[in-house]
Structure formats: C-alpha cells, structure tokens
Amino acid sequence: MAKMQKKAAKPAKKAVKKTAAKSKKVVRLAAVKKPAVKAVAKKPNGNGHGLPKPSSKPFGHDGKALTGVRILDFTHVQSGPTCTQLLAYMGADVIKVERPGVGDITRGQLRDVPNADSLYFTMLNGNKRSITIDSKHAKGREILDRLIKHCDVLVENFAPGALDRMGLTWEHIHKLNPRMIVASVKGFGPGPYEDCKVYENVAQCAGGAASTTGFREGPPLVTGAQIGDSGTGLHLALGIVSALYQRIRTGRGQKVLCAMQDGVLNLARVKLRDQQRLKHGPLKEYSQFGEGVPFGHATPRAGNDSGGGQPGWILKCRGWEHDPDAYIYFITQAPVWGAICDLIGKPDWKTDPDYATPNARLPRLKHIFHTIEQWTMSMTKFEVMDKCNAVDIPVGPILSMKEIAEEESLRRTGTVVEVDHPTRGKYLTVGNPIKLSDSPCEVARSPLLGEHTDEILRDVLGYSDADVAEIKGSGAITPPEKGARAEAA
C-alpha cells in the first residue's frame, strides 16, 4: 500500500517538474522553497488530481483492486469472515490469526465430513492465509505487534472488550502503526446493549427485520439470508475501503465500527419508511388494507407483499402439491397490466373501472392474485417465467438451493464456484458477487489451520530460521497440549 501511494504521488511531482522546466528561474525557486504540494493543489495535472497514468496493461492484468493491502484478520464465525473473504477476493493479502490447536470455532461446527474443516468454515475463509498465534502468550503478543506494523487493516469481531483484554487497544495499535485501520463488527453500537454478545438472529430481531417479516397472523420470523452476519460484514468491507481511500489523503488509520443492529436496520429501511407513513393513513399496498384489517401502531408483517409500490405475491405453479418450491413471485407492475390481463385470459379487466387503475386494484389484490394463480398453477414456474418475460412482466421463480447449486449460468459467471480441498475434497462456494472488469477474482480454497504460519513468520515478518525455531519452542504458535484440538459442538 505504501508503495502504491508513492506511485500515486509520482506523476504529480513530474507535472511540477514539467511546468518548472519551462523556466530555469522557477526550477531554482522550486528547489529552494519546495512549493510542490501547493502547486499541485492549485493546478492538478492532466490526469486529474495526481492519479497515475492509465495502465498500458490489458484489463485484468495489472493486479487486483486491493493488491498491496495486507489485512490482519482476527475474525471468526460469520460476520467478520464474510468481510475479510470479500477483501481477499478483491486481492488483499488476508492473514487469518487463529488460536493454536483450535482455530475459528466454525472449523468444527456443522461438520459433514469427519475430521475435515466444515463447509461453514471453508465457504467463509477462501483466499486467506492462516497463522496460529496464542494472543495471550508473551511471545505471541510480540509476533502480533510485528504483524500490526506490517499490515494495513486489523479486522475483528470478538465479543466487546476481548481485543482490549488481549492488550490490543486502539491506542496500542495506533502507536505501533498510525496508518493502521482497525475495523470491528459488534452486535450493538454505543448504548444500553453495547456489551452484549450477538448472533445473526439476535441482530435480525433487534434491527427491525423480524418484526416486519412473516405473516400478520403468525409470530415474527427470521429470514434465511444472513443479513445480520453477512450483511454487516458487507457494510464493514465498505467502511474499510473508504478508510483506505481516506488514508491516501490523511496518511493515518481510523476506527471503523459496524454494529449488526445498525446493519440490519439499514437493510430494513423501507420498513422504517412505512412506520412514518402510518401516521398519514393506512399502507394501501399491504394486502391487509384490501382485506379491511385495521393497522396498529407499528409497521406490520406483510407476508409476501411486495416492499415497493408495485403489488406482488407468491403464487403456486404446477407441482406445488409435492414440490415445496413450485412457486413464482408475480408482480402486477402497472405499466404491463394490459399484458397481464391478456395472458391470464381477463382482457375485460383492462377497461373495467374496478381493475383498470392501480388504485382501483388495491382493495382487490387478494382476488386478483387468486385469479392469476389459477393461470400459474397450470404451468411450471419456468414456463410462467418464459411467458411473462416475453411480455416484460416481472416474475421470479422460487429457486431451491439445489437448483441454484446446479445452475450453469451461475457457474459461468463465477458466482458459484467449485474448489478442491486437501482434506474434504471438492465443495461449492459462493465466489465474488461483485464483478470488477479490471480485478478478476480467482477463488481459492480456505487454508488449513496454521497452514501458512511458517511462511508468514519468515516472508512477511522476516524472522530467521533460529527465530522460528525459538518461536516454535515457546508455545506461542502451538497448542498447549498435543492433540488438544477441540471438536466444537
């Protein structure tokens, strides 16, 4: 990273020299008074604000977006690892620090293959290197301090206070490496719950997602998408790259905090929108309006109602009696209402005042969707998809994970990737969902516990053979008792 910044500064200097070269007098002045920075600020060079010259290498052949960024990855379970895996996909060198003999607890959780790292772990830790260090061991702390000096970002999602208890306070880190960014996921931000441990579903509940998910007549529901863990990891990744960008200007690191409650609320913001709309009358796009059910004081659960202004619902397709996923999401988008009427055999609805306009349809949505369903039930979800797409009606088949795993187009784009692993064999993982045209992503398997300890000690930290031997003997990178690796519950 430091190299990259120097590179970035170069053309600016050149520009100054070029201007200066026009007059020997200016050259001398520049040499004496060193006005370089001011001159550049006033008169950006031709590339704009000191950017390097555009690369002459073909797209995809000049490194990755985050080449040169080194991450000290102290994350575990899901939220933090999601973030650092994404940064690794973008080209960062991610060094995952794990407790000797134990590692990230998920290595042993939900195991499908005996004695092999679980899919829980392997699917969240691709493209990383693993080093084992006991952070509570004196020698281990010494190695960590050295790592801090060699890394750009420390990412962690320990329980509140755990990092401080290791002695890795912000003050300590900032003193060792003022350029280091310290990024944390916590369950809650400052406030009454800041000291609480938090898992996915706690965040979904505290962030407003659960109270607004499910059917009105049923209990609150959590969603399968991990918006608390992976969602917050995504937010943190954006915070980190923003802090890296700001560091180019300021030269210093900063703290980045993402609370899972905040991350979930950010993703559920349309429900806070509806909360405020309630003051001004019923939420007409919710089917409870059409059913004549009064609204309470808070945004209700909306079942499968569409979250936007175009009413939608999940409808049965052929085979629904035995296939739990033989359904399609159907949106009665206003601009294609005429096409919908023709397709389902109700052309008279195009002109019937009870159905012709979006407002007229709102109180009748249940009946409308029931009628459309009689049509969708006569076909498979893919046939419905074909017929609707042909006339621009937005619909979405309910795809099972089996169908997604087998979907060829997702394999072709690298969104679903098969990787090989030395102890568990081949497995599927989700590749980089963000595609950059100049930063292609090759997905690599997750590391074995401590697989890269030696190479990191030597190549990154510069320890000699004798040092490494001493470190090994100290117990800082090995489990306290041989074979003490815990089989997590």
Residue of 152, 229, 262, 305 marked active site:
229
Nearer to ligand CAO (CB atom), residue 73 or residue 305: 73
DSSP output for 242-265: HHHHHHHHH----EEEEEHHHHHH
Least CB distance to ligand CAO at residue 42 (A): 46
**181 CB contacts (<8 Å, ≥6 apart)?**
152, 153, 154, 240, 243, 244, 247, 253, 254, 255, 256
Least CB distance to ligand CAO at residue 234 (A): 13
Amino acid at the residue 51:
L
Nearer to ligand CAO (CB atom), residue 257 or residue 278: 257
Burial class (CB in 10 A: 0-12, 13-18, 19+), 95: buried
Per the CB < 8 A criterion, the answer to whether 1 and 70 are in contact is yes
Nearer to ligand CAO (CB atom), residue 167 or residue 251: 167
Residue 16, Cα to own-chain centre: how many angstroms? 41
Nearer to ligand CAO (CB atom), residue 71 or residue 97: 97
Least CB distance to ligand CAO at residue 467 (A): 20
Least CB distance to ligand CAO at residue 140 (A): 7
117 among known catalytic residues = no
Burial class (CB in 10 A: 0-12, 13-18, 19+), 170: middle
Least CB distance to ligand CAO at residue 306 (A): 30
Using CB under 6 A as the criterion, which residues of the chain lie in contact with ligand CAO when the complex forms? 77-80, 97-99, 133-136, 157-159, 162, 165-166, 185-187, 197-200, 229
Nearer to ligand CAO (CB atom), residue 169 or residue 357: 169
Q: How many CA atoms lie within 13 A of 33 on its CB side?
A: 12
CA atoms of 392 and 413, how far apart (whole Å):
24
| Residue length of the chain | 489
Catalytically active residues, by annotation: 229
